[in-house]
Amino acid sequence: MQADERPGAPATPQRVIEMLQGFWIARTLTAAVELKIFSHVAEGRDTLDALRQATGASRRGLPPLLDALVALGLLTRQGDGEDARYALPPDAAAFLVEGARATWGTS
């Protein structure tokens, strides 16, 4: 029995928050794989404008997705705004780029 499940224990949002966080992470990763963000960055399309053109993603939607990927450590970023350049950390390069040694993304 978890501490939150003890009779008389006060209710907390912790369990629900953890579930929501898991969903947010999974959807962020799924969107990035579907848009082939990691493969595009690996191929040198590493700016916001280049990624927008390569993915067809919206001008409004792509920046928050890239911000989320940076926050998750799945991309790195040098610079800010339109001048930012994105790069792949070793784990993303190994497992999320199409054709990499152990790709989990779509083919």
pTM for the complete prediction? 0.80
Q: What angle do CA 60, 62, 68 make, to 5 degrees?
A: 120
Q: Along the chain (107 residues), what's the average pLDDT of each consecutive run of 10 residues?
A: 67 89 93 97 97 96 97 97 94 91 56
Q: Residue 36's CB: how many other CB atoms inside 10 A?
A: 20
Token representation of residue 13: 């949002």
Gap between the Cα atoms of 73 and 44, Å rounded: 19
Q: Which of 107, 85, 90, 88 is nearest to 98 (CA)?
A: 107
Set out the domains of the chain in order of their start, with CATH numbers.
13-95 (1.10.10.10)
